[in-house]
Amino acid sequence: MRRQHIGWVAGAAAAVLVAAGAITYAVAEDGGSDTTTPTAESADAGFARDMAVHHQQAVEMSYIVRDRTKNEEVRRLAYDIAQTQANQRGMLLGWLDLWGLPKVSADPPMTWMGMGDMASGKDGALMPGMATNTELKKLGTLNGKQAEIFYLQLMTDHHKGGIHMAEGCVAKCTVGVEKRLAQGMVDAQQSEIELMAGMLKERGAQPRS
């Protein structure tokens, strides 16, 4: 049953990504109710920049754990997350290119949400839910069941932070196709959180928070 669930999550993600090319170009013509291109300070641009960074770490963590365990279920989940978030990251950065906007900002992360003071950036954790550099190094030293548990815990936290940010875009972004992608992230990552809770329970562990 769980294998079918993972397959469903991957299938749903693939269905979204099949239309990635069309979405990337359509977004240039979907600039919100006033059809104007988003500004560098807009929620649309802020979300694209911040979620691209957030996603990159998820990809990194997923590839780390694929080298630390032989468990097929965890490796499949990690691969699905890495592929989905790498593709979404490309879409987000592509939109910034289409809008002619910079991929970095002098403002703190999540400023577009009115939460620029939320993340201290301490030890590499630039936004809520992100793992610290120390945690990433620890993941790279674990093997087998220990690596699986720590990855599932880190990714659960990561998804929770990502969902919070995506919900912010759903509420604040003006580009329709970006809002829809953000809602898709909320739905898919919530499903994966539930899946990972079951995987942790099977390993005698639980989410950290």
Q: Which pLDDT tens digit goes with each residue over 137-192?
A: 999 999 999 999 999 999 999 999 999 999 999 999 999 999 999 999 999 999 99
Q: Are 158 and 166 in contact (CB under 8 A)?
A: no
Cβ neighbours of residue 30 under 8 Å, at least 6 residues apart?
A: 175, 176, 177
The whole-chain average pLDDT of the chain stands at 87
Q: What percent of the chain has pLDDT over 70?
A: 82
AA identity, residue 48? A
